A and B are shown apart, each in its own frame.
Chain A
Amino acid sequence: MRTSRAERTTTYVVLVLAAMLALYPIGLILVKAVQPDAIGAASGVDLGNFAEAWDQGEFGSYLRTSVIVTACVVVGATLLSSLAGYAFGTMRFRGSTALFYLLLLGLMVPSEAVVIPLYFQLRSVGLLDTYTALVLPQIAQSLAFGTFWMRAYFRSTSREVVEAARLDGAGHLRIFWSILLPMGRPAVTTMMVLFFMWTWNEFLLPLVVIPSGDLLTAPLGLALFQGQYTAGTSLLAAGAVMVAFPVVVFYLFAQRHFIRGMVDGATKG
C-alpha cells in the first residue's frame, strides 16, 4: 500500500521514538551494571559487579532456587494440563462440563485472594519455607490456563489419526503420549514458554510462603537486596540484570511463542 513520503517519515519517527522509550530503561540498567561504583574509578566495562552480586548478594543461591522452582512448575503444570486437556478435549464423561468450569475459575480468581489463606494453611501443616510451598500453588495457578489451552488443542486434533491408532491396538495412554502430544509440539511449547515466564517473574507467592527468607527466588532476592544496599547501585543493577537475563534471552529466541501465546491465549480466553 502506498502512503505519502511525509506520512512514512512520521511513521518511522514515531516508531523509532517508541522503540527508544521501550529500550532506554533496559539499556540504563545494563550500563549501570558494568560500571564501577566508586567515584573517580576508571570508567569502562567492568564485569566484576556480576561476580560480586553473585557471591556477596547471594544471587547465585536465588537463581538456583528460581531454576529449580521454575523447572518443577513448568514440567508439572505442563504434564497435568496436558493430561486433563486430553480428557476434556477427546472424551465425554459425566460432569466434564462442570469440572471444566471449576478449573476455569482459576483463570478469574486473582492470586491475592488465595495467597494469604494459603500461608496459614501451609503454616498449619509445616510447609512454609519449602519447595512444595513454592511449586504446588504455582502449578495450581497455572492449571486453569494450561487445561484450557490443551483442551483447545486436543479438540482440534484429527479423529482419523486416533481411530487409526486405535485399530492398531493403541490405548489411550499411548495415543496421548506417543501420538497426539508430539503432534501438538507448537501448542505445548507456547504454553511452556508462558509457564516459564510467569513462574520466573512471580513475586507475591514466594514473598508470602517463604517468610524466613531461606529459599528466596531471584525477583525476591532482588527486592531484598534493594532494601539492604541502597548505596551500591551498580551491584543492584548487576543483580537486576541477572534476574531479567534468562527470560529476556529466552524471549529473544522464542519471541514467536511468547507473543503468540499472549495473543492467542488472550483471545481464546
Chain B
Amino acid sequence: MRGKTNWIITTLLMLGSILILLPLYLTITIALKTPQELSKSLLALPEEWRFQNFLDAIEITNFFNALINSSTITVFVVIFTLLTNSMVAYAIARNMHKKFYKFLFYYFVSAMFVPFPILMLPIVKQTSSWGMDNIAGLILLYIVYGLAFNVFIYVGYIKSIPKTLEEAAIIDGASTWQVFWKVIFPLLAPMNATVGILTTLWAWNDFMLPLIILSDRDQATLPLVQYLFQSQFSTDYNLAFASYLMALAPMIIVYIFAQKWIISGVTKGAIR
C-alpha cells in the first residue's frame, strides 16, 4: 500500500481538473481573440494575441479606478478587522465566566444565522441618510459584519493560549493594553493569517453590499463594475472577457503565490 502511486486516481483527478481549468482557458483565449476569430472556433488558441481588448476594457470600465477602490476597501477592512476583532475577542475570551461577556459572545455569534436580506432594506436607508453610502461606509460595514464569525474563531483560539505568559507580563507591570498588543496579538499570528485571508476573499469578491450601498459610480468595486458594464455592453464578448480576466487576475496571482497559506487558512477558519 504505502508509497505506491495510485495511477487510476491520479488520472481521474487530472481529467477532472480539466473541468476546473476549461472555463479559465476560455476566459484567457477569448480575451485575446478578435470577434471574427471567436466566431470561427471557440476552443482554438488565438492566432495573434490582441491586447487591444484589454486597453479598450480598461478605458470603458475605468478599470484602474475600480482596482484602486477594491484595493483600498480590502486593505482597510483587513487591517482594521485584525486590529479590532481580535481585541474584542480577547476581552470576551478572558472574561467568559462573567455574564456580560458570555452574553456578548452569544450575541455576536448568533448573528451568523441572520440572513442579510432581513437588514438589507433598512441598512440602505440608514447609510444613505447618514452620508455613508460610500467607500468609507462600506469599509465600516465589512469590519462590523465580520465580527460574528471572527469573534467565534478568535475566541476559540485565544482560550487555547495559556495564561501564564500574560501573568508574567502583568507581574512585570504591563497594563492590559500592553499585554494584548505585546503578548497576545503576536501569538495570534496564525489566526490573524486565517482571518486576514478570509476577510480579503470576502471584501474583494463581495458584490451585494457594494451594489446596495454605493451610490456614486466612481466608487464602484471590481465586481460591481462588471455588473454595470454587463448591462451596457453585453454583446462584445472579447471585450467583456478581457474585463473579467483583469478583474479575476489579482486574486489568481495572489493565489498562485500564497496558495499554501490560503488553503490552510481557509481550513483553520472553517473548522472552529
Q: Do A and B bind each other?
A: no
